[in-house]
Structure 1
Amino acid sequence: MTDAIDRAAGLAPGDALHALRRLRPEFVDGAELCRVSVLTPASDQGLSPDLRAALARRMALQNADPSLADPYGGADPELRRLAEGETDLPEPLASIAAHVDLVTQTPAKAAAESLRRLERAGLTNPQIVALSELIAYVNFQARIAAGLRLMKEAR
C-alpha cells in the first residue's frame, strides 16, 4: 500500500525507500492519519474540505512540488484562484492566503499581527488552530517528499 507521501515522492511497493519507510509503520500511518484529519476532519470548524484542499495545493506549489499539488484543488472558481496562488481575493480568503504564504515562505517572519489579521477577517480561534495544523502538515509533507526524492535520486 502507498500513502500520499509515497505518491508525492514517486515511491511504489518494491522500491527500497518504500520498504524503508515501512520499518517505522507508525510514522507512515501517523502521517496518513494526520493528512486525513487536516484535510477532511470530522468537524471542519467552518473551513471546508474544498478550502483546505485549495490551500494545500497553494502551499505545495509554493514549495515547488507539483507532484504534491496534483491531488489538491477544487471546482469552485474562487478556490481555484486561491489554489493557484492569486492574492487579489475577497475576505476572508485574502487574509487566509496572506497568512498561508507568510508561514510557508518565510516562517521566521510570522508574528502575532498575522494572527490578528485572521481575527479581523472573521476567523475564530478554533479556525486559526485548524488552519495552523493544515499549514504545518502540508509543509511537513512537502519536506518529507522532497527528502525522499533526493534519496531516491542518490541511489
Structure 2
Amino acid sequence: MTDAIDAAVGLAEDAPLFAHRRARAAFVTGSEACRHAVLAPEDDHGLAPALRLALACRIATLNADTALATAYRTALAEADAGADLAALADGASALPAPLRAIARQADLVTTRNQTAARADIAALVKAGLSNPQIVALSELIAFVNYQCRVTAGLRLLKD
C-alpha cells in the first residue's frame, strides 16, 4: 500500500524503490503515523487541522516540493479553510495575529533554522500561543521538513 511519501515521489507498488523502502517498514509506517499525528491529532491544542494543512503547504512550497505542496493545497481546499489560511499557504506575510507569528516561525525554521533563537519562541508566546501549541507547531514544522527531505532523496534515487 502506498503512503504520502510514495505518492509525492511517484512510486508505483511494483517499483524497486517502493520495495526497498519496505525493507525498513518501520520507517514507512512511522512516517505515515507521524503525518497523521501532526496533521490531524486527537487533541489539536487549538491548532486546527486546516491551519496545519496550510502550514504544511507553505513549508513544502518553501522546500520547492511541488508534489507535496499540491497534495497539501488540495487537502486544504477540501477543508474549505477560508482566505486567511489560503494566504498563509500561499506564503503571505501580511497576516492577522497570531498567523503572522506562526508563519514567521515556519519560514524561519524551514529556511534559516540555524538563526532561530529563544526570542523567536518568545514571539510566539507574545502572539498568544501556549506551550502545547508551540510544541505542536514545532512538531509540524519538523515533520514537513523531514518529509520534504525524504521525498527529495527518494526522487534522486528514483532517477
Give the whole-Å Cα distance in 1 for the aligned partners of 2:51 and 2:98.
11
Determine the structure 2 residue equivalent to 1:60. 60
Give the whole-Å Cα distance in 2 for the aligned partners of 1:39 and 1:25.
21
| Identical pairs, percent | 54
Determine the structure 2 residue equivalent to 1:48. 48
Instruction: Name the aligned partner's letter for residue 94 of structure 2.
Output: D
Give the whole-Å Cα distance in 2 for the aligned partners of 1:132 and 1:17.
30
Instruction: Name the aligned partner's letter for residue 17 of structure 1.
Output: L
Residue from 61, 85, 92 that aligns with 1:79: 85
How many corresponding residue pairs? 153
Residue from 138, 143, 148 that aligns with 1:137: 143
Determine the structure 1 residue equivalent to 2:118. 112
Higher mean Cα deviation, 6-15 or 94-103? 6-15
Query: How far off its partner does 1:49 sit?
Result: 0.2
Provide, for residues 10-46 of structure 1, a one-character-per-residue CA deviation record: whole Å limited to 9, x for no partner: 1110011100000111110000000000000000000
SS of residue paired to 2:7:
helix
Which segments of 5 or more consecutive residues in structure 2 lack a partner in the other structure? Answer: none
Determine the structure 2 residue equivalent to 1:121. 127
Instruction: Name the aligned partner's letter for residue 70 of structure 1.
Output: T
Give the whole-Å Cα distance in 2 for the aligned partners of 1:147 and 1:106.
20
SS of residue paired to 1:69:
helix
Give the whole-Å Cα distance in 1 for the aligned partners of 2:157 and 2:89.
29
Determine the structure 2 residue equivalent to 1:95. 101
Determine the structure 1 residue equivalent to 2:158. 152
Query: How far off its partner does 1:59 sit?
Result: 0.1
SS of residue paired to 2:8:
helix
Query: How far off its partner does 1:101 sit?
Result: 0.1
Give the whole-Å Cα distance in 1 for the aligned partners of 2:66 and 2:83.
20
Instruction: Name the aligned partner's letter for residue 105 of structure 1.
Output: T
Give the whole-Å Cα distance in 2 for the aligned partners of 1:135 and 1:101.
9
Query: How far off its partner does 1:70 sit?
Result: 1.3
Q: Which runs of 4+ in 1 moved over 2 A?
A: none
Query: Residues 23-42 of structure 1: matches in 2 within 5 Å?
Result: 23-42=23-42
Aligned-residue RMSD, C-alpha: 0.6
Instruction: Name the aligned partner's letter for residue 146 of structure 1.
Output: A
